[in-house]
Amino acid sequence: MGEVGFADGTASGARVLEIDSIEAPLVLCTSSGRLQFATPVALALLRRLSPADELPVAIPADLWRLLEREKPGDAVEWRPTAARQDVLSCTRYFAARGSYLVLLREASAKHLALAERLHRQRVDSTERLVASIAHNIRSAVASVVYSADFLDVRGATVEPPVMIETLHDIAKASHSLQLTVDALLDFARLGPTVSVAVSLRDVLNRAHGALRAHYRDGGHRLRMDIAPRAEWVRGNPLVLEQIFVNLLLNAVEASTAPRCVIVTAFPAPLPREARSGASFYICVRVWDDGPGIPSELRPFVFDRFFTTKHESCGLGLAIAREAAESLDGKLELSDDESGTCFSVYLPSGEGAA
């Protein structure tokens, strides 16, 4: 495995390239994956990832099967059986006389960094979700406890109208507890679908509350303008909250300068994709005064793992769009001459509140 001949079109007909002088992990192999030539870097990589100690004579069979399933020029990622933490990215190219040139690239560090970012995002999302649930439960329980204590202390002397009002407060708080638990079970796919009328202002306030420290530390400002017939939307309260947490975070994430974020809501025409039977939809626009999204990147903003931010793993907008669609809604990137604007279309909850 010392030399490779390449035609150079000169009178000599060919020149010889010393394989040992190539520092890239390249392998020349037959159509069945048997090695003909390999650079020292490639040999060292194959030795480390191969379960056998002897010099590799062929590309591992499961890796070669992966390469054969893809067109030449397309990359595949392979996890060796003997090294579960390692990931190898490989691309094969046509070479002379039925041979293939295979480029090997170790992708373990990239996958480890991605896994760490995904873990951080899951932890952050879980913390925000738990904080929201805890707030809802604490408020409802506090109302029940207060009303029960009131009846315990003054039950014998309380006037009938006050008694009725207190019992109504207990029933309302109990219903809120039940809705929170049902919404959580639906969110975790453990219960029936929850679709109820939800105050849009309350959802936005909870989403902003989950990001309060982020907004405060960055000096960012949030303004809300909700039209009279846009106060209520329909869906799972937890799913709705996650949509707006992701959008409000995306508006200011990784910004080094204070930003102004404006949320507007108004009745909108029924999207063509709608199947909810709602009389009309509510369009909620989340706009920020940042630099905007370049036209060449706009088609990719909802792709999973697409991001221009160093600490982001590129899942927030993809998750928000999937969540909106799960509510029979729609999330899109709107045209705007300045800044960035995302529009969420949600079924109206008017008349069901």
Tell me the longest C-alpha to C-alpha distance in the chain.
Answer: 114
- Do residues 123 and 102 share a domain? no
Query: Is residue 6 very low, low, confident or very high in pLDDT (cuts 50, 70, 90)?
Result: very low
- Do residues 57 and 98 share a domain? yes
Please report, for the domain that includes residue 270, its CATH number.
Answer: 3.30.565.10
> Across residues 120-140, what is the average pLDDT?
70
- Do residues 186 and 205 share a domain? no
- Do residues 127 and 85 share a domain? no
Q: What is the pLDDT of residues 267-282, one digit of tens each?
A: 988 766 656 666 789 9
Q: Token pair of 219, please?
A: 């000096």
- Do residues 90 and 225 share a domain? no
E runs forming strands in 236-353: 260-268, 281-288, 330-334, 340-347
Q: Token pair of 168, please?
A: 């109504």
Q: How far apart are CA 265 and CA 352, in angstroms?
A: 18
Mean pLDDT over each residue of the chain, to the nearest integer = 78
Q: Which domain holds residue 217?
A: 195-353
Q: Token pair of 283, please?
A: 């369009």
- Do residues 9 and 138 share a domain? no
Residue that terminates a domain, selected from 168, 194, 220: 194
Residue with tokens 């394989």: 19
Q: What is the pLDDT of residues 168-179, one digit of tens each?
A: 888 877 877 777
Instruction: Single out the residue of 292, 233, 223 nearest to residue 263, CA to CA.
Output: 223
Say what the pLDDT of residue 188 is.
Answer: 63
- Do residues 178 and 220 share a domain? no
Please report, for the domain that includes residue 184, its CATH number.
Answer: 1.10.287.130
* Least confident among 84-98, 139-153, 300-314, 333-347: 300-314
- Do residues 256 and 186 share a domain? no
Q: What is the pLDDT of residues 237-247, one digit of tens each?
A: 888 988 998 89
| 48 close to 56: Cβ distance less than 8 angstroms | no
Please report, for the domain that includes residue 72, its CATH number.
Answer: 3.30.450
Instruction: Single out the residue of 101, 88, 105, 93 nearest to residue 27, CA to CA.
Output: 101
Q: How far apart are CA 325 and CA 265, in angstroms?
A: 18
Q: What is the pLDDT of residues 186-233, one digit of tens each?
A: 666 655 677 889 999 999 998 888 888 788 888 999 999 999 999 999
187-223 burial by CB neighbour count: b if 16+ within 10 A, else e? Answer: beeeeeebbbbbbbeebbebbbbbbeeebeebebebe
Report field, pTM of the whole predicted structure over 0.75: no
**Bridge-based pairing state of the strands 15-18 and 3-6:** antiparallel
- Do residues 321 and 239 share a domain? yes
Residue that terminates a domain, selected from 106, 121, 143: 106
Residue that terminates a domain, selected from 106, 139, 173: 106
Residues 6+ apart with CB under 8 A from 44: none
- Do residues 220 and 308 share a domain? yes
| 263 close to 352: Cβ distance less than 8 angstroms | no
Give how many domains the chain has, as a whole number: 3
